[in-house]
A and B are shown apart, each in its own frame.
Chain A
Amino acid sequence: DVVMTQSPLSLPVTLGQSASISCRSGQSLVYSDGNTYLNWFQQRPGQSPRRLIYKVSNRDSGVPNRFTGSGSGTDFTLTISRVEAEDVGVYYCMQGTDWPYTFGQGTTLEIK
């Protein structure tokens, strides 16, 4: 299975500041069709996970443009600019290139 490693695991952030989460995969996530199936999910307290970003950098409908995904190959980053109180929760990267698909261990974002 492809191991997804996130850092940091805990991320205290001041309101209005930026935050970055790193995700590293154990092998390249470039699929044979040329796409890279790396997604980011947000899970607010008590809620279901919600996909924010798909294929590295594409925002899902309704996702604020404060959320930006970047990266390639095995190294990826989710950046949240101007952090708001509603961003509190756990963020997971997930690879959809190699079955079984796998999630990272999660990064907990909290407000300082």
Chain B
Amino acid sequence: EVQLVESGGGLVQAGRSLRLSCSASGFIFSDRVMSWIRQAPGRGPEWVGFIRTKDNGATAEYDPFVRGRFTISRDDSRSTAYLQMSSLKIEDTAVYYCAKDYGHFLGQGTQVTVSS
């Protein structure tokens, strides 16, 4: 059974940093693209980015509104994906979900609240 468990969310001041983790099980982590999707209060989901497999260079793509501030990485030995967020803005407040592949399966999410 596929399981994705996000952690690391919380309340943070604007301009600060936060790192989210996504612990995966139930599939061969190293073989899969891992994605991050977020959902602001009362709004639809929006893509943050994804990271390719190591065989494809473990390179990442980012939505323009986070590019240069957020970094996605992966540790295949731990079956864990990460989302490093810096220079956080109030508009980054959302539930952050990690996803297997391009949205095939999402975790339960972790809340990130950015305050002024």
Chain B residues within 8 Å of A43, by CB: 45
CB distance from A18 to the nearest CB of B (A): 24
In the complex, the answer to whether A48 meets B97 with C-beta atoms within 8 Å is yes
In this assembly, does B31 line the interface, its C-beta being within 8 Å of a C-beta of chain A? Answer: no
Chain B residue nearest to A60 in the complex (CB): B104
Interface residues of B in 12-57 (CB under 8 A from A): 37, 39, 44-47
- Check A49 against B102 for contact (C-beta < 8 Å): no
Q: Evaluate contact between B44 and A50: CB separation under 8 angstroms.
A: no
> Out of B39, B45, B47, which one reaches A100, CB within 8 Å?
B47
Q: Tell me if A96 and B44 are in contact (CB < 8 A).
A: no
Is B107 in contact with A54, judged by CB distance below 8 angstroms? no
What interface size band does chain A fall in? 20 to 34
The CA-CA distance from A2 to B64 in the complex, in Å, is 13
With A48-B97, A49-B97, A96-B102 already in contact, the answer to whether A103 and B107 are too (CB < 8 A) is no
Bound-complex Cα distance A54 to B103 (A)? 10
How many B residues touch the partner, as a band?
A: 10 to 19
Determine if B44 and A101 form an interchain contact, defined as CB atoms under 8 angstroms apart. no
Assess whether B108 is interfacial by the CB under 8 Å rule.
yes
Q: Does B72 contact A (CB under 8 A)?
A: no
Contacts of B64 in A (CB 8 A): 100
| A106 with B97: CB separation less than 8 A | no
Residue A102 at the chain B interface, CB threshold 8 Å: yes
Determine whether B106 belongs to the interface, using a CB cutoff of 8 Å to chain A: yes
Question: In the complex the two chains form, is B102's CB within 8 Å of A41's CB?
Answer: no
**Which B residues form the contact surface with A (CB < 8 A)?**
37, 39, 44-47, 61, 63-64, 97, 102-109
Nearest first, the 4 closest Cβ-Cβ pairs linking A and B are: A100-B63, A48-B106, A101-B47, A106-B44
